[in-house]
Amino acid sequence: MPTTPAAAAHIDHYIDGRVDDRGAETRSEVYNPATGQVSGLLALATIQDVDAAVQSAAKAFETWSLTPPHIRSRILFRFRDLVERETDRLAAIITAEHGKVLDDARGEVIRGLEVVEFACGIPQQLKGEFSENVSRAVDAMSLRQPLGVVAGISPFNFPAMVPMWMFPVALACGNTFVMKPSEKDPTLSVELAKLLTRAGLPDGVFNVVHGDKTAVDALLAHDDIEAVSFVGSTPIAEYVHQTATAHGKRVQALGGAKNHMVVMPDADLDQAVASLMGAAYGSAGERCMAISVVVPVGEDTANALRERLVAALDQLKVGPGTLDGVEMGPLVTKDHRDRVAGYLETGAQEGAELVVDGRQTQLPGHEGGFFLGGSLFDHVTPDMRIYREEIFGPVLTMVRAQSFAQALQLVNDHEFGNGTAIFTADGNTARTYLAKVKAGMVGVNVPIPVPMAFHSFGGWKRSLFGDHHIHGPEGVRFYTRYKTATTRWPNDSKVRAEFSMPTHG
């Protein structure tokens, strides 16, 4: 275990518009995954710290909820401009704590900004409906109003993008927010909080608390929190959903995935392989939309695909994310690297063929980093752990199918249903797949079908707990309550009491 350098930065909470540097009872270590060295000491929130953030947000809600939507939008416009201006600096922070290559980190920031841009249009999104004369001299209207204090709990794999899937829409709708980022790469959320303050966001509207299960449980149980957004693994998503709903909260909890890519015999194999390399090994496979299972249809397709994948993996450039030309960086922590490596041993023991073993990747001069090369299994069967479970690393498994129907059934039988893709030149095959596959997001010759911000993101089956997908129109619905009003204004006519059900007659 590396020693903690004296110069390791303290990473603190952000409460009521400022860094909360009062000191922490307990701190955990944050690592640079490319070197394996400790880069920061993170404050872990107590129940009292969480309560301080929630109370700050509750006080701020009193005025923020009454701020006109176009004023809230202007603040988000300024925030958007600040983030765009500082994209390179923010990307460098992501690479230093997560390990993904700089281009990928920049792309993450940009995808997060797309949700900010959607949220900037909130005056249009909050427009209600009006019906005149639903009865004589009676009008009806609908309204969408903010919930109150809401919380977000985000994973390590997208320290910028996933929080920006949550808080811009929540703030635009008039809510105040408490963010709990991953303790593995927490700095980015504090930087976003500072930029929100610079953009003119009032103190207390957006707060950041760091921590572990203590902080999470405090958020899930707090009486003043109305809703919780979560992205992470399925066991934790299920726990968050059950615990928060038991405390009367609205919950959207996005869980794990085992995303399949079906490759038909008529597919362009060069395009399919290029897409697979990025989708399976980009960001070291630490994406909930990563392709972790490829399903070639027919033995000829499988053999040709395997040959091309092996050649491409031989050329995959692994190294620190700050170096030019590197395509895949380290995994986020040593424990996670070792866990993923353990699946390679498990798959081989289960009888799968380990065609390319990422444990053999050597990086002279970077022995302390949390590196693992890209790996490929063939002849995987649905009963194997490496097929059933989410590995969340640079491991691609190949499951051979003999027909389109068998491939479709394979996808539909899996417990996860986050995303999937099909590569084919036949429109009817693609249309049938789109209609019948049981997954929330589908790509046709697109390997990672993450929707744009003005659509919504979410899976099916055990990839989503709750009724709402995240961002886009679903995000607006999640972060608002629907209210209808029926109005009548006094006139000169006499009104008598009515004791039967009111009608529009």
Q: What is the pLDDT of residues 90-106, one digit of tens each?
A: 999 999 999 999 999 99
Confidence category of residue 457, pLDDT binned at 50, 70, 90 = confident
Q: How far apart are the C-alpha atoms of 437 and 432, rounded to whole Å?
A: 8
Record the tokens describing residue 147, joined without a space.
């919930």
Interhelix angle 161-172/102-120, rounded to 10 degrees, is 10
**Which pLDDT tens digit goes with each residue over 142-197?**
999 999 999 999 999 999 999 999 999 999 999 999 999 999 999 999 999 999 99
Token reading at 377: 């299994």
Phi first, then psi: give them for residue 257, nearest 5 degrees: -155, 160
User: Is 288 part of the annotated catalytic residue set?
Assistant: yes
Q: Burial letters for 94-103: b for 16+ Cβ neighbours within 10 Å, e otherwise? A: bbbbbbbbbe
pLDDT tens per residue across span 62-83: 999 999 999 999 999 999 999 9
Say if residue 423's pLDDT is above 80: yes
pLDDT per position as a tens digit, 171-184: 999 999 999 999 99
For the chain, give every domain's residue range: 9-255+463-484, 259-444
Judged on CB neighbours under 10 Å (0-12, 13-18, 19+), 490 is exposed
Provide mean pLDDT across the span 277-299: 97
pLDDT tens-digit readout, 386-408? 999 999 999 999 999 999 999 99
Residue with tokens 């353990």: 342
pLDDT in tens, 35-48: 999 999 999 999 99
Query: Superfamily for 259-444?
Result: Aldehyde Dehydrogenase; Chain A, domain 2 (3.40.309.10)
- Residues 6 or more apart from 327 whose CB is under 8 A from it? 101, 281, 282, 316, 317, 318
Q: Nearest CA to 295 among 231, 382, 235?
A: 382
Give mean pLDDT, residues 302-314: 98
State the chain's mean pLDDT as an integer. Answer: 95
Residue 493 confidence (pLDDT) above 90 = no
Residue 82 · residue 199 · CB < 8 Å: yes
**Nearest-angstrom CA–CA distance, 104 and 91:** 8
pLDDT score, position 501: 75
Q: What is the 3-state secondary structure (H, E, C) of 383-413?
A: CCHHHHCCCCCCEEEECCECCHHHHHHHHHH
User: In the β-sheet with 395-398, what is the strand arrangement from edge to edge?
Assistant: 353-356, 375-378, 395-398, 291-296, 259-263, 419-423, 441-444
Residue 243 reports pLDDT greater than 50? yes
Task: State the average pLDDT over residues 208-224.
Answer: 97
Active-site annotation holder among 11, 52, 288, 313 = 288
Domain 9-255+463-484 has CATH 3.20.20.70: no
